[in-house]
């Protein structure tokens, strides 16, 4: 499949099914819980956006978007991740050229992801990275969203 054909198949919206990280001993963790929430969007213009979070995150006590306690902010940051930028197909990988990210170390970086694209399922394989003090590999599974009808 050519990069253009892959890109055409990626364009659209994807709902998160699962996020797993696996350490060298085979231990599987789910950093966003058993039933995470998330959306991944690839546009025809070459922009992408991803948001991933733990289901059932608590609301802030105050009804003021900027008035959370430090503990609430820490819990919110620890239970969600978001990033966006441009994307392209490079060989057998998707390259996310990140312009913004909740994890500051990723802002302005290129994040390569091996992937499998089968029917309505997309699995991304980020490179091995440090998570909770161990180097782990990850698998992030998405399902294509059907067109929204009101």
- 150 falls within a domain: no
Is residue 72 assigned to a domain? Answer: yes
On whether the pTM is more than 0.75, the answer is yes
Answer yes or no: is 78 within a domain. Answer: yes
In the chain, how many domains are there?
Answer: 1
Q: What is the C-alpha to C-alpha distance for residues 142 and 117, in angstroms, rounded to an integer?
A: 10
Host domain of residue 17: 3-144
Is residue 12 situated within a structural domain?
yes
For residue 149, being part of any structural domain is answered with no
For the chain, what is the total number of helices (H) and then of strands (E)? Answer: 2, 10
First to last CA, the chain: 35
Q: What are the pLDDT digits (tens) for 22-72?
A: 988 888 989 999 999 999 999 999 999 999 999 999 999 998 888 899 999
Is residue 24, in this structure, part of any structural domain at all? yes
**Assigned domain for 134 exists:** yes
- Tens of pLDDT, residue by residue over 6-24, are 999 999 999 999 999 998 8
| C-alpha R_g of the chain | 16
The CATH number linked to 13 is 2.40.128.280
């Amino acid at each position: 499949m050519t990069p253009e054909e892959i890109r055409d198949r990626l364009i659209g919206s994807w709902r998160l099914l699962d996020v797993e990280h696996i350490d060298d001993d085979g231990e599987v963790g789910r950093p966003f819980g058993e039933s995470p929430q998330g959306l991944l969007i690839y546009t025809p213009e070459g922009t992408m956006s991803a948001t991933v979070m733990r289901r059932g995150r608590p609301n802030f006590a105050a009804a003021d978007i900027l008035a959370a306690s430090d503990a609430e902010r820490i819990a919110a940051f620890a239970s969600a991740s978001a990033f966006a930028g441009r994307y392209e197909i490079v060989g057998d990988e998707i390259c996310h050229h990140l312009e913004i990210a909740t994890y500051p170390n990723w802002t302005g970086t290129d994040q390569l992801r091996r992937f499998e694209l089968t029917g309505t399922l997309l699995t991304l394989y980020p490179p091995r990275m440090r998570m909770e003090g161990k180097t782990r590999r990850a698998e992030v599974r998405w399902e294509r969203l059907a067109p929204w009808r009101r």
